[in-house]
Structure 1
Amino acid sequence: MLNLKEKLKPYRTLVSNFTSLSVLQAANYLFPLIILPYVVRVLGPGKYGLINFAVAFIAYFNLISEYGFNLSGTKAISLVRDSKKELSRTFSVILFIKIVLSVFSFVILLVIVYSIPFFNNNWEIYLLSFGMVIGWILFPGWFYQGIEKMKYITIIQVIVRSIITVLIFILIKQESDYLLLVILHSIAQILIGIAGLIVVRVKFHVKFCIPAFIDVKNQFKSGWNIFQSMIAINFYTTSNTFILGLFASETVVGYYAAADKIRIAFQGILSVLSQSVFPYVNNLYQESYQKFKSFIRLLLKIETSIGFILSLVMFIFSYQIADFLLGEKFIVSGEILRIISVIPLIVSISNVFGIQTILSMGYDKVFNKIISSAAIIHLILLLVLVPKYFAVGTAYAVVLTEFIVLLFTFFFVYKRKLV
């Protein structure tokens, strides 16, 4: 027992961070999964599809405001976490940039919503959904991941989402309550964001100060390649619902969104693992290349095993899962879920090669080229498949694109013999 403790000692922080992130992602994935059966039955495929289309549209503005700091910010914080002065400085620069970009994003949203009839018809849902962007911008998840201490904010996340979940069951009673559902989600995200900032100040004594122009410029420059990659990644993930909504009805969007929501919930454990090890892998690469390679090989085995099990369960029980969670009105979602069930396995492998290896070793431009190329291919696939096959076409386009990303990342790592 003593020997086991000694062996696990170097991984204590990693295990603690993984545990906290597991609970945090449970709040992000399981709570929506809990309310999913109720919400889809009350709102129906149409209104549920409209909400998901709005969230997919708003995600573009969040993408601009985030500027890829969920990765570049995490990396920047992890490198200065031992210096209180540099920690405050880096934190201030990143938060300042995010706030400025969010204001810029909101102005763009107003112009689009009030000038284009397609969006003007449902202007309320788009403006109310922007509250989620405000919450996402305020929430310093990148800070907590960078210092590898997620337990504080995890408690806040669970408490707030538990309360909101209860309120949804109490207040959402009919189809016309769809705007109230958006308001509740926005309030939850804003509360989480504010609480996260308070903990940063009170617990870690990090102060916010107006950053110097040169610091802002440098942070913009260092995060540019990752930001471009995030645009491309967003294009073949979140954008699928948005693009589908341009060709298909809100009901069809609802079928696809519901199936994808289940897939994301299943895939949550992989997201937890990826976010947990990213700062650890970055530091390990700086310390020892041999240890880095050994850990990457171990991580590949673990993620692939988890991904295989998740994909197998989703494929075998896709129709049963859809019927149980969504009801008979969403039977089409079962077919979509079976098609996209292979994604967890594909992503489990490409994540290790892409995020954990290529990015951690500083090949930001290479990663950006891979993702950008995949995004272009994905656009072509969507334009070919979606107009004719709608939700099913979208599902096949996503699977093919994820597989292409896997091939690109694998061949780069294999050719360079990085691990």
Structure 2
Amino acid sequence: MSLKKNYLYNLVYQVLVMILPLITVPYVSRVLLPQGVGTYAYTASIVSYFSFLGILGIDTYGNKLIAMSRDDKRKMSQNFISLYFLQLMLTTASLIVYLITAIFFIQQDRSIALIQTISLLGTVIDCSWFFFGIELFKKIVTRNIIIKLLSLAAIFILVKQPSDLPVYTAIMCLSIFLSALIMWFYLKGRIMIVRVLLRQIMSHFKPSIVYFIPGIALEVYFVLNKTMIGVVANNSEVGIFDYADKIRMMALSVVTSLGTVMLPRMAHTFAVGQIEKARDYLLKSLDFSTLLAIPLMFGVAGIAEEFIPWYMGDHFLKSIVVLIILAPTIVIMAWSGVFGTQYLLPLGKMKAYTASVYAGAMVNFGVNLMLIKPFGSIGASFGTLAAEVAVTLVQLYFVRKLIPFRRIVPKTIYYFMAGLVMFLLIRMTGSVMGASILTTGVQVALGCIVYFAIIVAIESVKRDGMVYHEFRSVLQRKRNR
């Protein structure tokens, strides 16, 4: 399947992973309030540690391993079965430890923590990494459409008041579990039943650890924010940060979808020795990611003041500041996604990748420790921003000889200038129209038109650039018809 189709399928997948909480935000934020939202996010952050410990880097390692062996069905089947047995052993052990922890050590919110066990069961049976490895994104998208629509309906029907937090938690966790369960029906005919020995199962342990080690740091600065806010501040501040972060991640998913698509493609390209082709993929990916990430950054920051009040309600007004602080991470993470996910990981440069994410984790923890107590969710947002800057700077150091930045910097400058013009017009529109759904619609439409009009104008003069060549390609296809 082509990279364009895979990107579009994975884009839909990433959006759907986020779509349920985002569609329900205006409703849930007003029903459960920051306290309920924060309690759910806080307990989910705790269960995510056990999920992460159980999966032990198998998701990323499995993606790469399946991609490298997909031309040999028997070998691929052997890799899948042996690796899944390892996953089953580790995640089951993690599940047991979590249950003991929830029953004997969690005092506050224990009932919600126990319901969260359902999502951990989803980790036990998850095999989506196999489908990422064979680049079969259509199945994953189909699965998510069904589950997310059912979950959406259940929330609106069953969640009516703050006391329905356990019901909301159960719906969210069941959607994770069922999404994982459905994928097993798609495995039929794709793998062979082959015998695997214990030594083959355990042979994957050490490579998985290699991917797990940098993942520890990633877990720290993706999840620790919410845990630290809950411990140092309160659950309401967790809710304020969590919903701003969801909006940021929704925008970011448009860009990071490309990284998930490119990881198996880059791993396969490197495996067959096509180094120059891989380099070309990398440059195009960096250009495309920057082209999209810059307007998303300016757009999210530009609409925040008018968007948050009507979308989340007055209880979440503090999320405006949090979202504006987090907005630059969209560009920063787009770059680190290219440097890390599309180059360092496929090429097996784990020491460099590990160094970058540990730098981010240490920076995040340090800034959080200083700022969360006095500033709550705002302090955590500065911690996230600082962490992402640290990660990208370290990765940039390791890829500096590979990427000809002289070809990238000029494009980045005019992308940035177009984004800045877009931002100023969005802010002027918001100031005049005020907070409403109509305002947000006008801001988004105006921003898209202005940004891409400027890019097209510049690239038409230069007769070069991604958007220019895409327009020419479309026109040429129409003429050929």
Q: TM-score, normalised by structure 2?
A: 0.81
1:177 aligned to 2:177?
no
Residue aligning to 1:3: none
Matched position secondary structure for 1:360: coil
Deviation at 1:49, TM superposition (A): 0.4
Q: 1:136 & 1:324 partners in 2: Cα distance?
A: 35
Say if 2:340 and 2:395, in contact at 8 Å, map to a contact too.
Answer: yes
Aligned-partner Cα distance in 2 for 1:153–1:207: 22
Report the Cα offset of residue 206 of structure 1: 4.2
Q: Distance in 2 between matches of 1:270 and 1:127?
A: 34
Other-structure match for 1:316: 302
Counterpart of 1:354 in structure 2 is 340
Hey, what's the Cα distance between the residues in 2 that align with 1:175 and 1:191?
Answer: 25
Distance 1:185 1:208, change over 3 A: farther
- State the match for 2:33 in structure 1: 44
1:25-174 to 2 correspondences below 5 Å: 25-116=14-105, 119-174=106-161
The secondary structure found in structure 2 opposite 1:267 is helix
2:320 corresponds to: 334
RCO higher in structure (CA 8 A, sep ≥6): 1
Aligned match of 2:389 in 391, 399, 403? Answer: 403
Alpha-carbon shift at residue 288 of structure 1 (Å)? 1.3
Residue pair 1:99, 1:137 contacting (<8 A) in 2 also:
yes
Quick check: 1:256–1:333 contact (8 Å CA) kept in 2?
yes
> Shift in Å at residue 340 of structure 1?
0.3
Quick check: 1:260–1:337 contact (8 Å CA) kept in 2?
yes
Paired residues of 2:76 and 2:191 also in contact (CA < 8 A): no
Shift of 1:137: 3.4
Deviation digits for residues 179-235 of structure 1 (CA, Å, limit 9, x no counterpart): 0111112222222211101211x24244476x4222222211112121011111110
Give the letter aligned to residue 402 of structure 2.
Answer: K
Structure 1 unaligned segments of length 5 or more: list them: 1-11
> Which deviates further from its counterpart, 329-338 or 88-97?
88-97
Q: Does 1:344 align with 2:333?
A: no
C-alpha distance in 1, partners of 2:140/2:364? 36
Give me the whole-angstrom Cα distance separating, in 2, the residues matched to 1:249 and 1:208: 51
Change (3 A) 1:77 1:274: same
Match of 1:290 in 2: 276
Structure-1 separation of matches of 2:124 and 2:71: 24
Distance in 2 between residues matched to 1:121 and 1:326, nearest whole Å: 26
- The residue identity in structure 2 corresponding to 1:109 is Y
The one-letter code of the counterpart of 2:60 is L
Aligned 8 A contact 1:56 1:238 in 2 = yes
Identity level (%): 24
Q: After superposition, what is the alpha-carbon deviation per residue over 1:11-41, rounded to whole angstroms, capped at 9, x for unaligned?
A: x432232222122222112232111111111
Tell me the alpha carbon deviations over residues 372-416 of structure 1, each in whole angstroms, 9 at most, x when there is no partner. Answer: 2321222112111112221111000110110011100001111x4
Q: 2:355 aligns with which of 369, 375, 387?
A: 369
Instruction: Note if 1:307 corresponds to 2:293.
Output: yes
**Which of residues 229, 232, 243 in structure 2 aligns to 1:247?**
232
Deviation digits for residues 147-194 of structure 1, max 9, x if unmatched?
A: 011212321211111011111101111111110111112222222211
Select the residue among 277, 288, 308 that pairs with 2:262: 277
> 2: CA distance between counterparts of 1:65 and 1:350?
25
What is the Cα deviation at residue 273 of structure 1?
A: 1.1
SS at match of 1:204: coil
Q: Distance in 2 between matches of 1:64 and 1:208?
A: 28
1:236-272 Cα deviation digits (max 9, x unpaired): 0122111111111111111111111111111111221
Amino acid at match of 2:266: V
Name the aligned partner's letter for residue 222 of structure 1: P
How many residue pairs are counted as aligned between the two chains? 403
Match of 2:207 in 1: 222
Larger Rg: 2
Aligned residue for 1:5? none
Asked if the contact 1:153–1:199 (Cα under 8 Å) also holds between the matched residues in 2, the reply is: no
Tell me the distance in 1 between the aligned counterparts of 2:325 and 2:354: 27
How far apart, in 2, do the equivalents of 1:208 and 1:308 lie? 48
RMSD: 1.6
- Letter of the structure 2 residue corresponding to residue 368 of structure 1: T
Contact 1:13 1:148 in 2 (8 A): no
Q: Is the 8 A contact 2:143 2:179 kept in 1?
A: yes
SS of equivalent residue, structure 2 residue 317: helix
